[in-house]
Amino acid sequence: MESKYSAVRDIILRNIPDVGNYPTTIKGVRIVRRNNPTEFMRCFYNPTCILVLQGVKHMLYGNENIVYTKGQYVVSCTDIPVSSRVAEASEDKPFVVLILELDSNIISNLILETKLPQAVDNKEKALAIADTDAELLDSFYRLAQLIEKPEAEQNIMSPIIIKEIYYRLLTGPLGSQLRLINTKGTRSNQIAQAISLIKEHYSEKLNMDEVALSVNMAPSSFYRNFKKVTQVSPLQYQKQLKLYEAQRLMLSGNYDAATAGYKVGYESPTQFSREYKKMFGNPPKTNVKNLIAV
């Protein structure tokens, strides 16, 4: 397995001109390189599988401290807020990961197609980590090889390999979480539907009891299970979505702090600045300036 890790890492390094987070010509596949450790940053993990090829990353997910390194993979089953930092990286041994975005429709159809057993409804956390086995690594190796192939070959082969990766994930140690999130009628799937609704209307004033009823859950059950999946309450989730989107708008260069705050639903610039500082550690202008400098 060691030689295959090195082969995937080398493909990525050949195709990344510098540090950064880069899309590839394969839909849903990104590659990341960092040459230095970083400070903790708040962000949202989208539904993804992250294969670590070199270096170490440290993540805070609710009250959990998670450290993952070469030989492991991370699955985020839905959109969840975390704080993370690169813990080990250097010019000679950069932090390198391959990221595959997860398509819930394909995964749901694959669950039905393969008639996998019903997942036990006791692993509801949306983010987890496991050791990579030889079969999963081999699938990722063949996916990485496609990065350097002609686009016509990518278009034919990538859906086949990605479906195989989904199957390996569903039947692996983290398969229970993926099946719960992507199987209609489970509590986790209802929470995933609620997350989609909150994301769609994040800038509006939402009545979370009504959100609960819209996904056929009693409010008490909704609040309890929402926190199990995301590690935050529904209102905290919406607030973090607002602030993260405001940060993105300011980083784009087209919005100042006050305009970004109004855009994401804040009526008071003072309240926006106060909550932004509480989440990101600095007022909006300072935080964005620091991020641009990095």
Q: What is the dihedral of CA 194, 198, 200, 205, to 10 degrees?
A: 140
Q: How many CA atoms lie within 13 A of 221 on its CB side?
A: 11
Strand ranges of the sheet holding 20-23, from the earlier edge strand across to the other edge: 20-23, 29-34, 95-101, 48-54, 72-76, 127-131
What phi, psi does 29 have (nearest 5°)?
-115, 125
* pTM value > 0.85: yes
pLDDT band at 293 (very low <50, low <70, confident <90, very high): low
Q: How many whole angstroms separate alpha carbon 11 and alpha carbon 31?
A: 10
Q: How many whole angstroms separate alpha carbon 172 and alpha carbon 168?
A: 6
Pairing type for strands 56-61 and 64-69 reads: antiparallel
Strand ranges of the sheet holding 56-61, from the earlier edge strand across to the other edge: 41-45, 80-88, 56-61, 64-69
- Quote the longest CA-to-CA distance of the chain: 56
pLDDT over 60 (residue 11)? yes
pLDDT digits (tens, 9 = 90+) for 177-214: 888 888 888 888 999 999 999 999 999 999 999 999 99
What phi, psi does 279 have (nearest 5°)?
-85, -45
pLDDT band at 265 (very low <50, low <70, confident <90, very high): very high
**Letter for the amino acid at 94?**
P
pLDDT over 60 (residue 172)? yes
- Rg of the chain over all Cα atoms, to the nearest angstrom: 20
pLDDT band at 252 (very low <50, low <70, confident <90, very high): confident
Q: What is the pLDDT of residue 24?
A: 94
Percentage of the chain with pLDDT > 70? 97
Q: How many whole angstroms separate alpha carbon 212 and alpha carbon 207?
A: 9
Q: What is the pLDDT of residue 123?
A: 61
**231 near 62, Cβ under 8 Å?**
yes
- Higher-pLDDT residue of 102 and 285 is 102
Q: Which residue, 205, 183, 15, 156, is CA-closest to 23?
A: 15
pLDDT band at 129 (very low <50, low <70, confident <90, very high): very high
In sequence order, the 6+-apart residues with CB closer than 8 A to the CB of 154 are: 25, 26, 146
Q: What is the pLDDT of residue 124?
A: 64
Please report, in angstroms and rounded to a whole number, the separation of the first and last CA atoms in the chain.
34
Q: What is the pLDDT of residue 254?
A: 80
